[in-house]
Amino acid sequence: MTVQTAVLPKLAVNVVGLSKAFGERVVLKNLRMRIARGEFVALLGESGCGKTTLLRALAGLEPVDGGHIEAPRLPAIVFQEPRLLPWEPLWRNVSLGLPAPDARDRAVAALTEVGLTGRFDDWPLKLSGGQAHRVALARALVKEPELLLLDEPFAAVDALTRIKMHVLVKTLVARHRPGVLLVTHDVDEAIVLADRILIMSGGVIDRDYLVADYPERRVLRRLLLADLGVLLTDEA
């Protein structure tokens, strides 16, 4: 296996021949995937098909059995749960891993961006679930990463908060332009946010849809759902 920190000129991620098995269970099978810089890619797939494993491999958190990964050395990740350090105030959480001098200013700016003005010194355990997720997002974006990895980051928040988070992610990503890989099980979320939608199945990227090719969202939605094994009747 080779992991290179240098990235091809216009790619944020380049994965070739990636393989991974947990014991007998083969999860990634000679998988191939590319994400361009500034491109927003959504990854859909049945639960347990290996989406998290792929994302963790990109972040260098999961040792793989073979293949070639080119990705920035320290991408920013938002996990499914916020993973805040409960003993550090919000601004310290957001500035985790940022080099020192203007860390606080940058953290404060990021918290303001996600709508948490005036809560910079609060403890994380005082936050609601949605607020904690926004802090996690701020922590990822403050690094101005070349690659942003999101693993079902909105699955645990209520529907209304999720819509607000979608708008937020869209604006922030538009401003910083990182390459984004969003793992989700929500087809509509993928359509709203992504430039490109991948379907993962059998350890490989099975389908690849450019959202711009489908001016009629309902058409794309139907195709995606069919790929995921949901067949809709006409009126649905």
Ligand X SMILES: Nc1ncnc2c1ncn2[C@@H]1O[C@H](COP(=O)(O)OP(=O)(O)O)[C@@H](O)[C@H]1O
Q: Which is nearer to another protein, 95 or 199 (CB)?
A: 95
Q: Does the footprint of Mg ion cover residue 52 (CB under 5 A)?
A: yes
Binding residue (CB under 8 A) for another protein from 96, 223, 225, 228: 96
Q: What are all long-range contacts of 164-172, with beta carbons under 8 Å and residues at least 24 apart? A: 164/130, 165/130, 165/133, 165/134, 165/137, 166/192, 166/193, 168/114, 168/115, 168/134, 168/137, 169/137, 169/193, 172/113, 172/114, 172/137, 172/141
Which residue sits closest to ligand X, CB atoms considered?
Answer: 52
Q: Does the footprint of ligand X cover residue 150 (CB under 6 A)?
A: no
Query: What does 125 bind: another protein, Mg ion, ligand X, none (CB cut-off 5 to 8 Å by kind)?
Result: another protein
Q: Which is nearer to Mg ion, 51 or 106 (CB)?
A: 51
Site for ligand X in 152-191 (CB under 6 A): none
Q: How far is the CB of 124 from ligand X (least distance, A)?
A: 25
Binding residue (CB under 6 A) for ligand X from 53, 95, 131, 184: 53
C-alpha distances (whole Å) from 29 to each of 20, 73, 176, 178, 186 are: 7, 23, 33, 27, 24
Query: What does 22 bind: Mg ion, another protein, ligand X, none (CB cut-off 5 to 8 Å by kind)?
Result: ligand X
Site string for ligand X, 11-50 (x = CB under 6 A): -----------x--x-x-----------------x-xxxx
Q: Does the footprint of ligand X cover residue 196 (CB under 6 A)?
A: no
Site string for another protein, 50-89 (x = CB under 8 A): ---------xxx------------xx-x-x-x-x-xxxx-
Q: How far is the CB of 85 from another protein (least distance, A)?
A: 6
Applying CB under 6 A, what is the total number of residues that bind ligand X? 11
Q: Does the footprint of another protein cover residue 179 (CB under 8 A)?
A: no
Residue found under tokens 């490989």:
204
Q: Using CB under 5 A as the criterion, which residues of the chain lie in contact with Mg ion when the complex forms?
A: 52
Q: Using CB under 6 A as the criterion, which residues of the chain lie in contact with ligand X when the complex forms?
A: 22, 25, 27, 45, 47-53
